[in-house]
Structure 1
């Protein structure tokens, strides 16, 4: 599994952003092996190139991106990754927003998330807010990624 953190790698206080470490811990606790972690600034070409490169790696079955999915002009992960999808998994976004509603309330309308299949790799794009991303990983990604990979083999 590859975990790609997109956007600012520090918290507003200047401390290292713990999102990647926390999600790695959640994925490992669920029985996954995180073979690659990447931190990207968040430009369209950089994100698309990184995800496309990870799809062809034999040590990566699933790709999870975190961050860059908001509504700001600089949030381009969805736009960068979506053209790579051979199949879109619209139910993922629906389920995640439903789960997050209980944490984020109506603010969930600004949460953009998506998933799809490229080659034999499921790709999940999650929001960068640590609590929301962690909830999505624990409740959906950790459970569904192995089933999707098995179906694609």
Structure 2
């Protein structure tokens, strides 16, 4: 493995996210083309599905190369994971997640950042930040950036 992107959000197209392979020795690390190790990604695309429960919002992002399932957790106030955290921080997280979830509507173009993982054999993003894009060029600019980074940094063969 000659490159690692563990502490940054790698900008990827859905096609490349779906091609990631999990490292056999680590549960939260994935390889891209056998030479880049990553755990966090960023993608931009159109929201094509939306399913909200009291615990989470599950939505699909399609960028033209494929579709990636994204999950945003909304149960910060009741989760045992957050029980050790400062209550004010948990309230801020819960409020931010609810506000972001309200903006996620089918047909909107969104930028999603989060931790990549595999669930039931399919790649998905556990979203930490979702921003609805106002710039009509955002998706195309993301595509161009992904192609440039794929060739120069990630060594992706298109």
State the TM bucket, normalised to the shorter chain. under 0.3
Higher helix proportion (structure 1 or 2): 1
Query: TM-score w.r.t. structure 1 length?
Result: 0.26
Higher strand proportion (structure 1 or 2): 2
Query: TM-score w.r.t. structure 2 length?
Result: 0.26
